């Protein structure tokens, strides 16, 4: 497992996870958070319990950070992908494209560094 603590991810999708220890259950056992970040096509991060976030609207890119993230990478169809687990997920920016577009339209350049705190 690689250490991706404090890594900012772009949330693509949120789905229910019906599997526990490789067996399909009748009720959701947690959530799957499908994310992207530079160099990785897609990663699925599983968090046990109830869904913590809603599925993002189309064309809205939310920046998220995970707590206690453990992730491993693998290759599939010539793409780098990831899978992992975490204990929590937090949105640190509701609309990344809006933030960038707003910054570009201003007269002065803006520092786009985002700092997350618990």
Dump pLDDT digits (tens) for 70-88. Answer: 999 999 888 899 999 999 9
Could you give the CA distance from residue 108 to residue 106 in angstroms, rounded to a whole number?
6
State which H helix or E strand residue 74 sits in: strand 70-76
At 39 the pLDDT is: 82
Q: What is the mean pLDDT of residues 5-18?
A: 88
Q: What is the mean pLDDT of residues 35-59?
A: 90
- Entry pTM: 0.77
Looking at the predicted structure, is the pLDDT value of residue 116 above 60?
no
């Amino acid at each position: 497992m690689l250490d991706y603590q404090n890594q900012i991810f772009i949330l693509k999708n949120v789905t229910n996870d019906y599997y526990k220890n490789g067996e399909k259950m009748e009720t959701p056992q947690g959530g799957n958070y499908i994310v992207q970040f530079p160099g990785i096509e897609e990663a699925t991060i599983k968090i046990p319990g109830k869904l913590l976030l809603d599925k993002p609207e189309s064309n809205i890119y939310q920046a998220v950070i995970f707590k206690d993230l453990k992730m491993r990478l693998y290759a599939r169809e010539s793409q780098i992908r990831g899978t992992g687990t975490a204990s929590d997920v937090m949105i640190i920016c509701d609309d990344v494209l809006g933030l960038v577009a707003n910054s570009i339209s201003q007269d002065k350049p803006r520092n786009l560094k985002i700092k997350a705190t618990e």
